[in-house]
A = this chain, B = another copy of it.
Amino acid sequence: MTVSVSAALLIIGDEILSGRTKDKNIGYIAEYLTAIGIDLREVRIIPDVEAEIVDTVNVLRRRYDYLFTTGGIGPTHDDITADSVAKALGVGIDIDPRAVALLQERYAAHELTEARLRMARIPAGAELIENPISRAPGFMIENVIVMAGVPSIMQVMLDQVVPKLRTGSVMVVETIEAHGVPEGIYGGGLAEIAKENPEVSIGSYPSFSSAGFRNQIVIRGKDPVAVATAREAVRALLNDLKTDQNPL
């Protein structure tokens, strides 16, 4: 029996939408969650606008087992994620003494400005996620996991929180190189195999570089036997086909 645990990722930040900052978190989190048996099913990137954060948090936390967010938990006025999450969940938010204690490991009393204390605003009932790099914590409340946007800090927060999460069966993945057989030639047979093997998902992925096109067929599923069956069918298909000159 396979178990499925689903998740969504919400990236909060004008700077990603303007192209000023290039996201480095999506690929990292996608790969990480896949490896531990949490299926990332949707990603959204939205601006630093409270109403949009509140609405999106509510849609995604209800639709998936977990919602991860990145961004918007620093000390400046545009860091509104914690307050928005509290509003979405209908809970209070205030400066949390546990978070203040963590900040005090880094800042002397006179350095704890009002701005820095924003980083200690934590929704009521949340569990803190420690941040060994710069101390200001993330948090988890219900099924919502709120992390920093700076990749190195997000990554240590993810390490901290993941042991607390339920995980499902790990996806079994088989990648088969098409070795010159074009998509347009194996496409028909691959569709048949996909139809005959509904327990797995089969994708065909062209990539293009200075060396030309390369196609890979990827079979994914939680039942190793079903994945192996589909893999053998794809290998047999490719062996039967001759290559031609058009690699797409």
Residues of A that sit less than 8 Å from B by CB = 11, 14-23, 26-34, 39-48, 74-79, 106-107, 111, 113-116, 118-119, 133-134, 136, 150, 152-153, 171, 173, 183-188, 190-191, 194-195, 201-208, 213, 218, 220, 244, 246, 248
**Is there contact, CB below 8 Å, between B202 and A77?**
yes
Residue among A34, A44, A113 having the largest count of chain B Cβ atoms under 10 Å: A113
Number of copies of this protein chain within its complex: 2
Known contacts being A47-B41, A187-B76, is A171 close to B202, with CB within 8 Å?
no
Closest to A107 in B: B246
Distance from A33 Cβ to chain B, minimum over Cβ atoms (Å): 8
Known contacts being A75-B187, A113-B188, A194-B78, is A19 close to B31, with CB within 8 Å?
yes
Q: How many angstroms between the C-alpha atoms of A30 and B46 in the bound complex? A: 12
Q: How many angstroms between the C-alpha atoms of A190 and B46 in the bound complex? A: 22
30 A-B interface contacts by CB (under 8 A): A11-B43, A16-B27, A17-B39, A18-B31, A18-B171, A19-B27, A19-B29, A20-B31, A20-B205, A20-B218, A23-B26, A26-B26, A26-B45, A42-B44, A75-B183, A75-B187, A75-B248, A76-B191, A76-B204, A77-B187, A77-B195, A77-B202, A78-B201, A107-B184, A111-B244, A115-B183, A115-B185, A116-B248, A119-B184, A133-B208
